[in-house]
A and B are shown apart, each in its own frame.
Chain A
């Protein structure tokens, strides 16, 4: 079993929809949780990070962490075609390397 599991998709939604992207993990030592966005033929770039449990909001994006369930989510409100990308979750205990999920490919059509 992988340390971090992520549904690869693809997920196809109409513009304006609310998108929910999720990851589960097995290592209870993970404390830092990140979401990276990767456009086609580009490198990943950090979108949001959260420490421990709770929610964090940044514009149309909300990251949620539920450590009791070992489950993290990224919500995108009012999705736009420009949000079409692959979203990778990543996590780390603290001063250690990041473990990435395989990524979920999202397509938002007009």
Chain B
């Protein structure tokens, strides 16, 4: 398996523009997670899905952020409009389950810079 796939790997955009990040989880994994990583705040969970249904979006910073999972093999995280403080590395991860001993497999991340 190719692992979790994310695109784009790098994104540079201007404030106010719409940004769409994409993720393909590992086949057969029922859970998909979106994280954001910054030096100051570390790795923060934004939202996670179970069988394509959003379960917990309490980490989504504000209404400018939205996430969808139209099918088991694809998810998007959208920021509209983007702001400089959204600059971070965004990771997608997937796992078979949510039990404490289930491994989360992370993608390579998308480095977002909002100017």
> Could you list which residues of chain A lie within 8 angstroms of chain B, going by C-beta atoms?
6, 31-32, 41-46, 49, 51, 88, 92-98, 100-103
- At the interface, is chain A mostly helix, strand, loop or mixed? loop
B42 touching A92 by the CB < 8 A rule?
no
Asked whether A43 and B108 contact (CB < 8 A) given A31-B100, A32-B100, A96-B98, the answer is yes
B42 touching A101 by the CB < 8 A rule?
yes
A102 touching B100 by the CB < 8 A rule?
no
Q: Which residues of B contact A94 (CB under 8 A)?
A: 99-100
- How many Å lie between the Cα of A94 and that of B100 in the bound state? 4
Please count how many residues in chain B sit with their CB below 8 Å of the partner chain's CB atoms: 23
Query: Interface 1/0s, chain B 30-55, versus A by CB < 8 A?
Result: 00010000000111110010000000
Instruction: Report A53 CB to chain B, min CB distance, Å.
Output: 14
Q: Which residues of B contact A101 (CB under 8 A)?
A: 42
> Which of A42, A43, A96 has the most C-beta atoms of chain B within 10 angstroms of its own C-beta?
A43
